[in-house]
Amino acid sequence: MDELSLRYGLNPHQVPARAFAADGRLPFRILGGRPGYVNLLDALNSWQLVRELGTLSGLPAAASFKHVSPAGAALGLPLSDELARSCAVKTDGLSPLACAYARARGADRMSSFGDWAAFSEPVDEPTARLLRREVSDGCIAPGYEPAALALLREKKGGGYPVLEMDRDWTPPELERREVFGVTLEQRRNDAAIGPALLDRVVTRNRELPEAARRDMLVAAVVLKYVQSNSVCVVREGQVIGVGAGQQSRIHCTRLACAKADKWLLRLHPQVLGLRFRKGVSRADRATAVDLYLEEDATAPELDAARGLYEQEPAPLERAARQEWLARFPGAVLGSDAFIPFRDNIDRAARSGVGFVVQAGGSTRDDDVIAAADEYGMAMVFTGLRLFHH
């Protein structure tokens, strides 16, 4: 039996803790640090996501995971100068894999603080340099260039968990979980995500440009590994907003769309022009920008951020926000199960969503389709529910 001792379980008082493969070997090697229970949950879920995303797209893929859901996930597409500044990186010397991680981490820099990073391809030196400077709890990839591994082994004084995954590992068809002394068993979710999933367009608008089809498939893959209920917004090959683990579908949609709005507003010239005092950390800058864009921020919150700026910035007025967001139509919204009410479509329209991919099958499908038709959206029913718990 292949076994790995863990620091502790979900919480420090849950000891002992271990990971083991009773009938074979563990599909990964530890190249640095010592992972914990939550680390492995993030690692094994995030690896499945990036492997599937990379295989489907033919591009490098990366994900930034927190608490067994992606805060961001992306393909390795080039970054514009504005997007690079919003993601707090420079475009010089970025590899495609580094671009994927910059996009994934930059989707929601607040939520990605202390993330688990996952990569579909061996980590190269440019990617390791990005990862080394971020507050991160570990990473998983199918390999590491020697220079990249040396950089990551220096992180956290040598305590940064670095996992090398067996790219060819295929788990058993059945998976088991023990809850309160009861063992649950099911076939693992090996449903294939591919172009055929998008064949059933149910709206009057049936046009699915290639970029929209790509982003719909990205949304489906990502939702397969997000804690349910879940909704995500995708643009240009990357997730820009995730609403995970909510009991109500509309709350998932509001959360995902609000995050997507902030992602777009971070590209506004007024936000890119914010100037911080020397020595302000990357995490504090991310917090300050988030507060700057938070319309309901309280006076104490704003007072705490004021000392971080070189000079206090002028507010970004609501009219300017709305005008800026209106420049970016055509986002994809994905739902891991059917959309039960039209309020989800109404909220999505405010965030520039032009395409929807969902399972379908609600008793109110006609109402939801009618709402999409009102906004000129194209909507696909996949017939595939993607709950993940």
The catalytic site residues sit at: 66-67, 229, 389
Question: How big is the CA angle at 148 (ends 145 and 152), to the nearest 5 degrees?
Answer: 135
Six-digit token string for 217: 């498939």
- Whether 285 and 308 have beta carbons less than 8 Å apart is answered as yes
Which of 250, 218, 251 minimizes the C-alpha distance to 233? 218
Report yes or no: 249 and 81 within 8 Å, Cβ to Cβ: no
Angle at CA of residue 186, ends 184 and 187, nearest 5° = 160
- CA separation, residue 25 to residues 6, 122, 169 (Å): 16, 21, 10
Q: Residue 193 corresponds to which amino acid?
A: I
The rounded distance, in Å, linking the Cα atoms of 249 and 231 is 8
Residues for the chain: how many in total? 389
Spatial neighbors of 193 by CB under 8 A, at least 6 apart, are 52, 56, 217, 220, 221, 224
Tell me if residue 43 falls in helix, strand or coil: helix
Residue 53 one-letter amino acid = L
Please choose, from the candidates 170, 167, 115, the residue with its C-alpha nearest in 3D space to the C-alpha of residue 144.
167
Helix axes 299-306, 282-293, angle to 10 degrees: 140
Contact in structure between 369 and 201 (CB atoms under 8 Å): no
**Token duo for residue 23:** 């009938």
- Nearest-CA neighbor of 357 among 347, 54, 368? 368
CA distance linking residue 298 with residue 296, whole number of Å: 6
